[in-house]
Chain A
Amino acid sequence: MTGRKLLMTFPVTATSHLLADYRARGGYATLEKVLRQMRPEEVTKEVTTSGILGHGGAGFPAGRKWGVIKLNDGQPHYLCANADEGEPGTFKDRWILENAPHLLLESMLITAYALQVRNAFVYIRGEFDLPYRRLAAAVEEAYAAGWFGERILGTIFSCDIVIYRGAGSYVCGEASALITSIEGKKGYPRNRPPRLTVRGLYQQPTVINNVETLANVTGIVAHGAEAFRKVGTAKSPGTQLVSISGHVQRPGVYEVEYGYPLAKFIYEDCGGVLGGGKLKCIVPGGISTKVLTAAEIEPLTYDHASLAGAGSGVGSGGMVVIAEGTCMVRLLQILLRFYHHESCGQCTPCREGMGWMHRIIDRIVAGEGRPEDIEQLIRISKANDGTTICGMGDAAGYATVGIIAKYRDEFEYFIEHKRSRLDGRLEVAIP
């Protein structure tokens, strides 16, 4: 077991995602309580007190984000659930969308009530098929049961929801690109300031939260912020859905309580490396976080402070396990190919830098690397750090610098001998 659970509290069955099952689990009771007994600012206060951090990757406190929205300012506010889960190695929101869509919807209704939102949006990744069908069906059910629409439960609160399917762009998972996409434009991120909570979707104050962050709202409001704070660590309260994949014995989505020992999670709960191999390193939270070697993860616990102390981060909770024998040069090639493909092309450093790094790593893998190429990759990464409109340029830089810093000898070997020291393997044979 990976600590206490907040979201994965029910057995997944063929009907567990349906409204009837959700009602049987106590679903929509919290919404009813909120609408009948709580004022919007009390809900926000509860979420702020809970100290829940954003689960999308940046780890920004959700309550601080909500607090920017001014109630009764005469402007329409918008709420958007970010279900554009595109970070490689991450598939945790998919679990919520597939198995607990009503939890998300109830949480969104509570959030909408707290922030005086009339129209809420779910921006769902275009490649998500089953999650989309489950969510769309849940929305139909919820509308039919009167949980959405005009005057919900006879109160003055009304809320409508729109599911918007993305078209397969990684950058559209970035909040400002996401709303630009909803507006029907090319998915380009926007410059800050203004923050999206000041001027977001259709130039109105907008709160965009990750699906998992929102899904926690119902539990926080139902059981109180104090109960939530008891789970996890002081600085990282709550749990994190971790999607673990790669060379691991039991891949899948696990709910991990913050503060849980990282090595124990990988070796015991997930069964260790595939085929009983040795662990080389892990990517702790989506490929945009820096890799951690097997030695480095030993003393760590799974929470923001501990991982940040090791120079990495919780990120989006997409953990990738990499076994001994994997060629890190090939691994970086795959990462850079991805970043090159997904760079939106709006701002200069990322547009040019991603392609440049991809060409360099392709050349190294083709056996035409030059000794100065390693420095070149680091230089491009650093030139992307903090200079781009969104965080994608930074993320690619972190990943590159992280891998090169820890496995520089493999790159040097590849350039010198024109072949991988590890036969260029990415797969691990199961004995």
Chain B
Amino acid sequence: MIAFFINGQPVQAEDNQTVMQAAKANGFFIPYFCWHPQLSVPGNCRICMVEVETEAEGGGWLDIACNMPVTKGMRVLTDSDKVRARRKETLQFITLNHPVDCGICDKAGECTLQDYHYEYNGAPSISRDAKVHATKHFPLSERIVLDNERCILCSRCVRFTREISKSHALGVQSRGDHSLIRPVEDGAFEADPYSDNVVDICPVGALLSRQFLHKARVWYLKPTPSVCPGCERGCNVNIWHRKSEWKLKALDAKQNARIDRVTPLENPAVNGPWICNKGRDLARILERARAEQAMQKGRPVELQAAIDSARALIGTARQPVALVSSWGSNEELAAFHAALGQRFACYVKPDWLPVPGERLEDDLLIRPDKNPNRAAAGALFPALPADVQSAFPPDTDLVLVWGEGFSFAQLPPTARIIYLNSYLQPENGHADVFLPISAQTERAGHYTNFQGVVSGFEACFAKKPGVADAQALFAAIAAPAGGSKP
């Protein structure tokens, strides 16, 4: 440990720490654009200048904190007059060719440049000359557009593709104030499954997600912590949706209960500050057409009636088999285990299989099993054997299928089927009893990832009236006739 001083207060730094890291660890804030805890230090934005006090005449010297090694007894000032004056000058430079079009910029509200401008400068530009113009909407890939005028050339995105995603897809073209971030080869950035992270780490609104482009102002949105169900990594994410106090009355009601975007929720034990593009596209998984109507053999019935029928079927079955979802939360799995675990011969089925063309596995985040909670389910129940038929004894008369991804054609033709699913699928109508259950965004729970790390998710939206919560449903369908209601 090295003892030194920040703003006159004694602090401790670990060996080989920079002033920036030590200040952050000790709760002092030094502004930065280009520095990122997970990336190398380029020291190019020059906003993190701090003063090091010396005995010499003329006071301390200034240098960038992100590249300054801590030395014993050094006295660092993060907010002296000199530092403040320097930051003002640097912000003048950074905003010199920046269009300051916050009014139409998706980043407004969470933009580092905007924050620092109000915090450290506040003055209008002293330049009266025309700004340098550059490409406004350069398509970096199908997913990302680049506004070169807003870009402050911090090189975070370039370093991300070199150091984290290893696609080496981005580089800087030209030099001086005509420098442009560009893909190194056509299509290289397209193939990067982590490309959307550059939108998050962009300190300004230069890199924009096409999905989210002009969709919402971020201050109308609220993040709800959640877990990505895309694979067994279980990356922690924030699901952004409209704040309840900012509902849009004039628009379609669906706009008020939709996933506006998904961003990573930093968890060093699981995903660090990154997620893959599949996680960004959670809306494509979670916002498929929802099943909201309980059915018996395709005939709409009241939810309670369907529950009663299911309970009757379970009560009379002689050889029931259950296929347990690997998308159920720990709580739901425990509830199933307690209520029906003894009654059924249970197997865990994979709800999702890799889609053709999808990346199966890599060194960063993506895992081969595309189900979020196979670890917890597998701890309670055996896995469905590869030869599916062997799971069903010849006299199987009832099969409970929980979750999607299982073709009824594989079931014994004589068995009755109870089907629990959240989405509209052809199988729903073929089940003897179909019970709609809530999707991940409508309930809270926990997933256990392949490393055994448990991450929790919260409900973003209210559950639809005709839909049951699986956790309560299991007790209801297991109870003897006249028992508790869901």
Report A's interface with B, CB cutoff 8 A. 169, 171, 186, 191, 193, 340-349, 351-356, 359-360, 363, 370, 376, 379, 383, 386-389
Contact = CB atoms under 8 A, between A and B. Distances in A.
5 contacts: A169-B175, A347-B46, A348-B94, A355-B176, A379-B126
Contacts of A389: 43-44
Contact of A355 (B49, B152, B177): B177
A379 B128 CA distance: 14
A386 B62 contact: yes
Given A347-B43, A370-B128, 11 more contacts: A341-B176, A344-B176, A345-B153, A347-B45, A347-B46, A351-B93, A354-B176, A355-B97, A355-B176, A355-B177, A376-B126
A387 B61 CA distance: 11
Contacts of A349: 46, 89-90, 93
A341 B129 CA distance: 18
A370 B155 CA distance: 35
B176 A343 contact: yes
Contacts of A386: 62
Given A356-B129, A359-B129, A191 B176 contact: no
Interface in B36-90: 41-47, 49, 62, 64, 67, 69, 86, 89-90
B36 to A, nearest CB: 15
Given A191-B64, A353-B93, A387-B62, A348 B45 contact: yes
A349 B43 CA distance: 12
> Which of B46, B126, B153, B178 has most A Cβ within 10 Å?
B46
Interface string B97-109: 1000000000000
B127 interface: yes
Contact of A345 (B41, B94, B130, B179): B179
B43 A345 contact: no
B176 A342 contact: yes
**Interface of chain B, helix or strand or loop or mixed?**
loop
A299 to B, nearest CB: 28
Interface string B161-188: 0000000000110111111000000000
Contact of A356 (B49, B127, B172, B178): B127
Contacts of A347: 43-46
A345 B25 CA distance: 31
A376 B175 CA distance: 24
B177 A343 contact: yes
A342 B41 CA distance: 23
A355 B43 CA distance: 20
Contacts of B152: 348
Contacts of A379: 89, 126
A340 B46 CA distance: 19
A323 B408 CA distance: 95
Interface in B249-266: none
A169 B97 CA distance: 23
Nearest to A187: B175
Contacts of B126: 376, 379
Given A355-B132, A363-B129, A345 B177 contact: yes
Nearest to B96: A352
Contacts of B96: 352, 356
B329 to A, nearest CB: 48
A151 B484 CA distance: 92
Nearest to B68: A193
Contacts of B172: 186, 345
Contact of A191 (B67, B132, B178): B67
Nearest to B180: A345
A383 B93 contact: yes
Interface string B251-289: 000000000000000000000000000000000000000
B93 A343 contact: no
Contacts of B178: 345
Given A191-B64, A342-B176, A351-B176, A186 B93 contact: no
> Which of A169, A186, A379, A388 has most B Cβ within 10 Å?
A186
B176 A345 contact: yes
A383 B90 CA distance: 8
Contacts of B69: 193
B171 A186 contact: yes
A191 B43 contact: yes
Contacts of B132: 355
Nearest to A169: B175
> Which of A345, A359, A376, A388 has most B Cβ within 10 Å?
A345
Contacts of B171: 186
A21 B440 CA distance: 85
Nearest to B158: A186
B155 to A, nearest CB: 8
B129 A344 contact: no
A173 to B, nearest CB: 14
A261 B172 CA distance: 48
B58 to A, nearest CB: 12
A383 B69 CA distance: 24
B90 to A, nearest CB: 6
Given A191-B41, A352-B93, A387 B86 contact: yes
A77 B63 CA distance: 29
> Which of B41, B89, B178, B179 has most A Cβ within 10 Å?
B89
A338 B172 CA distance: 21
A352 B130 CA distance: 13
B17 to A, nearest CB: 14
Nearest to B152: A348
Given A193-B69, A356-B96, A389-B43, A351 B129 contact: no
Given A347-B46, A348-B93, A387-B46, A354 B177 contact: yes
B89 to A, nearest CB: 4
Contacts of B49: 387
Contacts of B97: 352, 355
A363 to B, nearest CB: 7
Contacts of A388: 46
A359 B125 CA distance: 15
Contacts of B177: 340, 343, 345, 351-352, 354-355
A356 B152 CA distance: 15
A214 to B, nearest CB: 28
Which 5 pairs of residues, A with B, have the shortest CB-CB distance?
A345-B179, A352-B93, A355-B177, A191-B43, A343-B176
